Amino acid sequence: ADGSFQPLDGKPAFKVDLNRVMTCGHLHGLTKLTLNNMVQDSTAMHEWTAYQIFRGAGVPSSRTGWARVWLNGESLGFYLQIETLDDVMLDNWFDSTAHLYEGAYGQDIDDWASLEVDEGDPLDRSDLQLIQEIRDSTPDNGRYEATLDLIDWNEATLLMGAEMFIGDWDGYAPSRNNYFFHTTEEGILSIMPWGKDQTFVWEAPYFSGIEGVVPSDLFLDCM
């Protein structure tokens, strides 16, 4: 993220692909590592705690741990190791994976054609396209009922509740940011959190200030 970007002579964050140059297998079952520099979290606890809460609530999300990082023999300090959202991690949460879409700031289901595809066929986005077509053809206050078979609404509600509880002002529900969409081979959508280093700093306004398409459809259907 732009806010946590650091040059190599600072404290850069890293994504490590152990099989990028040559296939070498895995490290304790992992083929990719994500190392967050925590420059936006002086406590070094916010992100770790946030993911603990998401997982405890039953929201598919990363495991975390701390690490000391060295680059070319020079210590860069204390980092948070975040479980990378890849096929290894997804297999622990889902029976199948059709797609993993990475959302950029402001993007949502209605941007299905431009979302970055991290897992699955980027040329076949019919899972998200179908959900959006149903949304387009359904009155605002009927979209929840119309998508009951295509969106894991229980998981989406837990995600939204956890975001509000931890003051996640930069998450999916409040600002359509720092999230991934996952779809199964049956086309069922789940929302996965990411980038939780700026949590516990905001008093979340319940039932207002919601921008994410999925929770907005839920609220409109309940009003």
Over the stretch 87-101, which tens digit does the pLDDT of each residue have?
889 999 999 999 999
Cα–Cα distance for residue pair 72/76, rounded to 1 Å: 10
pTM for this model (two decimals): 0.89
Task: Judge whether residue 41 has pLDDT over 90.
Answer: no
79 against 32, higher pLDDT: 79
Two structure tokens written together for 65? 């741990």
Q: What CA–CA distance (Å, rounded) separates 191 from 130?
A: 17
DSSP labels for 38-81? -TT-TTS-HHHHHHHHHHHHT-----EEEEEEEETTEEEEEEEE
pLDDT tens profile 51-98: 999 999 999 999 999 999 998 889 999 999 999 999 889 999 999 999
Sign of dihedral through CA atoms 165, 197, 1, 69? Answer: negative
204 pLDDT band (50/70/90 cuts)? low
CB crowding 80-107: b at 16 or more within 10 Å, else e? bbbbbbbeebbeebbeebbbbbbbeeeb
Q: What distance in Å separates the CA atoms of residue 58 and residue 56, rounded to the nearest whole number?
A: 5
Which of the four pLDDT bands, split at 50, 70 and 90, describes residue 210?
confident
Please say if the pLDDT value at position 8 is more than 70: no
Percentage, residues of the chain above pLDDT 70: 88
**What's the confidence (pLDDT) of residue 1?**
52
Q: What is the pLDDT of residues 138-155, one digit of tens each?
A: 998 899 999 999 999 999
Rounded Cα gap, residues 43 and 14, in angstroms: 20
d(CA 123, CA 105): 22
CA neighbor of 109 nearest in space, from 146, 137, 148, 136: 136
pLDDT attached to residue 6: 74
Residues above pLDDT 90, as percent of the chain: 66
Q: How does pLDDT run across 120-135, given as a tens digit for each residue?
A: 999 999 999 999 999 9
